[in-house]
Amino acid sequence: MNTKTERPKAKSGLKTLAALLPFLSPYKKQFFFATIALVIAAASTLTIPYGFRQLIDLGFTAGNPDHASHVNYYFLGLFGVSCVLAISTAARFYTVSWLGERVTADIRSAVYAHVVQQSPQFFETTQSGEVLSRLTTDTTLIQTVVGTSISMALRNILLLIGGLLMMLITSVKLTSIIIVMLLAVLVPIIIFARRVRKLSRASQDRIADASGLAGEILNAVTIVQAYTHEKIEAQRFGRAVEQAFTTAINRIRARSILTVMAILMIFGAIVFVLWLGAHAVMDGGMSGGELSQFILYAAIVTGAVGALSEVIGDAQRAAGASERLMELLAERSPITSPLHPVALPVLAKQGAALQMRDVFFNYPSRPDTSALSALSLDIAPGETIAIVGPSGAGKTTLFQLLLRFYDPQAGSITLDGVNIKELDLHTLRNTIGIVPQDTVIFSANAMENIRYGKPDATDEEVMAAATLAAAHEFIERLPEGYQSFLGERGVRLSGGQRQRIAIARALLKNPPLLLLDEATSALDAESERLVQHALEAAMAGRTTLVIAHRLATVQRVDRILVLDQGRVVESGTHHDLVAQNGLYASLAALQFNS
Ligand SMILES: Nc1ncnc2c1ncn2[C@@H]1O[C@H](COP(=O)(O)OP(=O)(O)OP(=O)(O)O)[C@@H](O)[C@H]1O
Ligand SMILES: [Mg+2]
């Protein structure tokens, strides 16, 4: 279950964040505006200590009107600077937060749009809950970086450089000492920040694991309760959460050490230098105002370095988070439309022709077991073919290949003479209507669920399809008829009702090729007879492949193919096959004699 965390690593470190650049580039204007606001805010911050120094060195002595107006002038200036600071800070905050939200929204949509295009192979190794966790929690970390960290970093770099410059102007000697000490502090900070990133990735991975687990269990909550596994499942989730907690604490510990080192060393350096400065004032080498100015600048610089180490921590966290998101985005589906798809010839009125030649196939997750081998079949337009055979024979697999959810390792599949690999994926799939073995109902009302087969269908068309699928009557009897909400995964319907909705959906699509995988298996004899009737009517004018276990339902088809262990072992009408006395005959004997 943990193969997902062992994927090849993407680029490491803050370089991962560079992968976010394509998401930032559409917003150059906003970045420019934010930078301007930021520079103005930083500049006004930096002028404040200078003003203070002037005030202190001017002194507040009584009885000098000239002097008093001078002081007024300075205070007015100071207030003006505060106004500029307030406005530019708010402007920066707004723009930068906007950017953070915008970019996060873009990344969420991009990752989601990408993930829904992945072939089933992807979902064999990735749990949907994991993807959800990536979409919500991982993107939130990126939002922090784009929405605050970038601007914090810029602001503090400006303050750091500006503050250092002003310190240099105030006292070269004291500043040089501080710089040397700061450089010494930086090395351990960088080393620790790297550790934070690794732990952050691990921490996000554990959260995703927990979400994956929860997603699966919540979808199967009735089974959990039927087997009275509530406690076991709660404990299993609890353990996953504990793991996430432990990893998070490791990360937080690393970050705390980072903080303590940064503050201790930086303040230590500054206190030491100030001590030197105090002596300089006492020896008369520096004025009191100069020292105050120096202290304020030193405070700004210290604050900036502290903030920068925070920012680096955040950025490393986001780098850890974006790693997996970028891996998701880099995931390439093995099933894609060809660059230059061939147009499907105008289909014959009777439906699509289908051909399979020597198809060999094994599922990617089971490279050594063949699901289909040397499978060949030829289906003429308009034919109705039944596919029967023992469980695990490869019947559903055959449908998966027709829909091109997987490509065979060898052999070819052609639709109306065109290899399906040369068709646009959407063209191919639009030609096919499928009622899958496990019906899928969306949490919407009956009308919308059937309309999924043809989004622009009118209500009348939907009802006609429902009538054909023997679903109209029971839908009308639901509390709100077609507007009745069916519950998540259709929990408010019986199994047979779900199947009829699925059949109605496929019929509404009106496809030239109809694939029915045990479409009536959950129906009672009476409904099955009704649906069977309806399906027989619907089969006119299209090619239909019916997978069935109940042989009684397939006696009237044109041809029956018997599949066993991935091969067609027999083929013919019911009577031919019974006469052949092979696998079909024995299956039939079992079913009809009892
Ligand atoms: N996603 C998958 N990955 C690996 N193996 C798979 C996968 N899906 C099916 N298989 C295997 O492929 C073989 C054929 O499965 P398939 O679903 O086609 O059987 P089937 O004929 O439809 O059976 P049933 O009548 O029970 O539905 C089985 O042995 C099954 O275990
Ligand atoms: Mg099957």
* Best probe residue, ligand 1, of 387, 396, 407, 561 (max atoms within 8 Å of C-beta): 396
Closest C-alpha to ligand 1, atom 31: 392
The ligand minimizing its distance to the Cα of 362 is 1
List the one residue out of 39, 40, 52 whose CA is nearest residue 299.
52
Closest C-alpha to ligand 1, atom 7: 363
CB count in 10 Å sphere of residue 460: 8
3-class state of residue 513 by DSSP: strand
Kindly state whether residue 197 falls inside one of the protein's structural domains. yes
* Best probe residue, ligand 1, of 366, 434, 517 (max atoms within 8 Å of C-beta): 366
Note whether 326 and 422 are same-domain residues. Answer: no
Note whether 308 and 363 are same-domain residues. Answer: no
Yes or no: say if 411 and 358 are a contact pair by the CB < 8 Å rule: yes
Whether the CB of 394 sits within 6 Å of ligand 1: yes
Give pLDDT, residue 438: 86
Domain end position, chosen among 330, 346, 372: 330
In CATH, what number is assigned to the domain containing residue 559? 3.40.50.300
Q: What is the 3-state secondary structure (H, E, C) of 10-54?
A: CCCCCHHHHCCHHHHHHHHHHHHHHHHHHHHHHHHHHHHHHHHHH
User: Cβ-count burial of 480 within 10 angstroms (0-12 exposed, 13-18 middle, 19+ buried)?
Assistant: exposed
Note whether 297 and 371 are same-domain residues. Answer: no
The ligand minimizing its distance to the Cα of 393 is 1
Note whether 129 and 166 are same-domain residues. Answer: yes
Give pLDDT, residue 11: 44
Q: How far is the CA of 488 from the centre of ligand 2 (A)?
A: 23
Note whether 33 and 143 are same-domain residues. Answer: yes
Note whether 165 and 311 are same-domain residues. Answer: yes
Give pLDDT, residue 62: 63
Give pLDDT, residue 8: 40
DSSP state string for 430-492: HHEEEE-SS----SSBHHHHHHTTSTT--HHHHHHHHHHTT-HHHHHHSTTGGG-B--GGGTT
Angle at Cα 491 formed by Cα 487 and Cα 496, nearest 5°? 125
Q: How far is the CA of 396 from the centre of ligand 2 (A)?
A: 4
Closest C-alpha to ligand 1, atom 19: 392
Closest C-alpha to ligand 1, atom 3: 363
Residues pairing with 445 in the sheet? 485
Give pLDDT, residue 1: 36
Pull the structure tokens for residue 241: 């959460």
Whether the CB of 437 sits within 6 Å of ligand 1: yes
Kindly state whether residue 477 falls inside one of the protein's structural domains. no
- Domain range enclosing 83: 16-330
Number of domains in the chain: 2
Kindly state whether residue 346 falls inside one of the protein's structural domains. no
Give pLDDT, residue 63: 63
Q: How far is the CA of 135 from the centre of ligand 1 (A)?
A: 31
516: Cα within 13 Å, side-chain hemisphere:
32
Note whether 172 and 25 are same-domain residues. Answer: yes
Positions in the chain short of pLDDT 50: 1-11
Give pLDDT, residue 514: 92
Note whether 283 and 429 are same-domain residues. Answer: no
Segment 272-303, tens digit of pLDDT: 877 888 888 888 877 878 888 888 888 888 78
Segment 35-52, tens digit of pLDDT: 899 889 888 888 888 877
